Amino acid sequence: MSAATKESAVCFDLRGRDLDQVFACQELSDTALTAAYRVSARFDASFPGWQLYRRIAAGIGLFDRQLECCAVATARRLARSEKLNGRSYISGAIRQKSPWIAQAGRDALDFAIYGRYSASADERAKRFGIHRDTYRSVRNPIAAGLWIGVETFRSELHAEYLKVRRDEKRGS
């Protein structure tokens, strides 16, 4: 068998099929689980890449509470952080109205999962009595970080899945 024929034989059953479909199944193959385990080990343990990816790809809500806790905790850490010049990222007086920070984290998670915010920054700012730019200054970086993180996880997962499949084909 020539090299070109071997290459087409390895990918033949994936032709016309999106790799996200492989991971969207309720029951995952050993190949998919191996790839997921390897990729998860490359990411920081505090980033819920696998949980977020499964929520998006398969619609599995099993990890929703964990994802919400992570997004809210990240928003709170960002709000308490300091800028390079030593000043607070969000002033203490505004931070005291903390329910808005948790909502900003939840809205950021909505963006990562659904590709849109559940409400505009103007609506949220009016509801919590803060300026819309303050609300955006927490919501938008968290949303971008989650979105970029899950896209990176997805890319790594797909590449690792193909590597594991290739190794399995060579081994058999």
C-alpha 90/C-alpha 138 separation (Å) is 9
Distance of CA 84 to the CA centre of its chain: 27
Angle, in degrees to the nearest 10, between helices 99-114 and 64-80: 130
C-alpha 49/C-alpha 39 separation (Å) is 9
Distance of CA 62 to the CA centre of its chain: 15
pTM value is: 0.84
What phi and psi values does residue 88 have, to the nearest 5 degrees?
A: -65, 140
CA 93 vs CA 34, 55, 72, 87, 122: distances in Å: 48, 36, 19, 13, 20
CA 55 vs CA 65, 67, 89: distances in Å: 11, 9, 31
Note down pLDDT in tens along the chain; length 172 residues.
444 433 433 433 444 458 899 999 889 999 999 999 999 999 999 999 999 999 999 998 999 999 999 999 999 999 999 999 999 999 888 887 779 999 999 999 999 999 999 999 999 999 999 999 999 999 999 999 999 999 999 999 999 999 999 999 998 6
Q: Is the dihedral of CA 63, 68, 69, 75 positive or negative?
A: positive
What token pair was written down for 141? 């970086």
